[in-house]
Structure 1
Amino acid sequence: MAESLKDKVALITGAASGIGLATTRALIEAGARVIMADRDAQALDRLVAELGAAAIPQVTDLLDAESCAAMVPQALEKTRRIDILHCNAGTYIGGDLSETDPATIDRMLNLNVNAVMKNVHAVIPHMTERGSGDIIVTCSVAGHSAIPWEPVYSGSKWAITCFVQAMRRQLNRKGIRVGQVSPGPVISALLADWPEENLRKAKESGSLIEPEEVAEAIMFMLTRNRNVTIRDVIVLPTNFDI
């Protein structure tokens, strides 16, 4: 029997677009409330007006240390509890390492790795006190295979794969489930840095998936009975070869 998500409270980063927005919609449809954390205040205002009272805006810039640190406390002020943390926000760099500048590398690692670790660190005391919680991280198939055209991105996702599996072992006895969803190429703005030829071939061959298909995998993870942890789901377009 699936676990109900009715009246649960989820905090999702990068919630104003892509996988974050698709998961927000799915959770609200399942009866949950969602704190939508994103730096795009205008997009949040527009989406909250569309989604209704179950969507709660949280303007957060994860690359700003103070804003990042304030996210979980501010969310708890609004809802008093967080049942689900979905660390979804991320960025992408493609191409040869020699073509990437150090500032861009720092930005990617700060968002894809450091912010995730900080967000998880911030929510652990609350979930531990309650003796229950779910932490889901959006990773990537690039966290399971060394992708030659995206070495920085792939490196950041390998780091997250290690972090998620280590935290799963730390927190499982505290009633907190930790897992990750690892999609292949998803139709989103993050693919803008893909080599044009790779993107063209992917589109022509149907080697891309929609954000909603990743959200469905996340919903499956969250609705398992508490004695079951789905530690990692890899979601690939059928025609994607890697």
Structure 2
Amino acid sequence: MAGALEGKVAAVTGAASGIGLASSEVMLAAGARVVMIDRDAAALARLRERHGDAMIPLVIDLLDPTDCATLMPRVLDAAGRLDILHANAGSYLGGDLVETSGDAIDRMLTLNVNVVMKNVRDVLPHMIARGSGDVIVTSSLAAHYPTPWEPVYASSKWAIDCFVQTTRRQVFKHGIRVGAISPGPVVTALIADWPAEKLKEARESGSLLEPSEVAEVIMFMLMRPRGMTIRDVVMLPTNFDL
């Protein structure tokens, strides 16, 4: 897909690792300039050395409301425009609800729901003014399946899936496509919090996806003709249902 995104500017949150990194790298390979947003300054510096000027590092702590609000102005300062937002940053929280702290619930809902809503809200005026844009949100299979070992995480993804579908209906008339990618379990640091027996079972059965596989589907969504919106992709390892 070399050159498929030539001239485009993308911004990816949670870009220093996992799905965000894979998404950033596939868009860089397709010719886009990519603003890689993460709180890990050292990781972004290493990635800048690897990818050169097409990669624009942007250190933001999205859990800090003041810092979070600087995302769009700083993207425009650095790149001059924005064509694609991949709202990917998120965290995982599993386990029994009665053993979950209030602070942990607040942190997860803030990052997985509130931050995504605010990031999307902040980029939309620019895209509306330009009459074009793509917003892709990293959701989860948990948005479609009531997973019993992750009630808080699953609830955050159900909420964000509703947000994606309702926002899509508000902005499609402006030439903006909004969709979600909902993978099953992906080999990232997020699943380190899975129950040990569940993680062991998934690894042994081949029931995990690679971040690069998710990134390939994101590119498929971006490459559809402008008259087509891939509104939600649910992707699973073939062995997930074993």
Same fold (TM over 0.5): yes
Fraction of identical pairs, as percent = 63
In structure 2, the partner of 1:98 is 98
In structure 2, the partner of 1:183 is 183
Map 1:126-165 onto structure 2 (within 5 A): 126-165=126-165
Q: For the aligned residues, what is the CA RMSD?
A: 1.0
Q: Distance in 2 between matches of 1:121 and 1:161?
A: 15
Map 1:211-226 onto structure 2 (within 5 A): 211-226=211-226
In structure 1, the partner of 2:41 is 41
Q: Distance in 2 between matches of 1:62 and 1:241?
A: 35
**TM-score, length-scaled by structure 1:** 0.98
What secondary structure is seen at the aligned counterpart in 2 of 1:209?
coil
Q: Distance in 1 between matches of 2:223 and 2:7?
A: 13
What secondary structure is seen at the aligned counterpart in 2 of 1:182?
strand
Q: Distance in 2 between matches of 1:48 and 1:138?
A: 23
How far is the alpha carbon of 1:167 from its aligned partner? 0.5
Q: Distance in 2 between matches of 1:195 and 1:147?
A: 13
Q: Distance in 1 between matches of 2:16 and 2:133?
A: 23
**TM-score, length-scaled by structure 2:** 0.98
The C-alpha deviation readout for 1:209-238, integer Å capped at 9, x for no partner, is 100000000000001110110000111111
Q: Distance in 1 between matches of 2:235 and 2:219?
A: 13
Amino acid at match of 1:240: F
Map 1:41-60 onto structure 2 (within 5 A): 41-60=41-60
Q: Distance in 2 between matches of 1:191 and 1:213?
A: 16
Matched, 1:32 2:32: yes
How far is the alpha carbon of 1:5 from its aligned partner? 1.2
Q: Distance in 1 between matches of 2:203 and 2:241?
A: 13
Unpaired runs of at least 5, structure 2: none
Say how many residue pairs are matched. Answer: 240
Q: Distance in 2 between matches of 1:60 and 1:72?
A: 11
In structure 2, the partner of 1:62 is 62
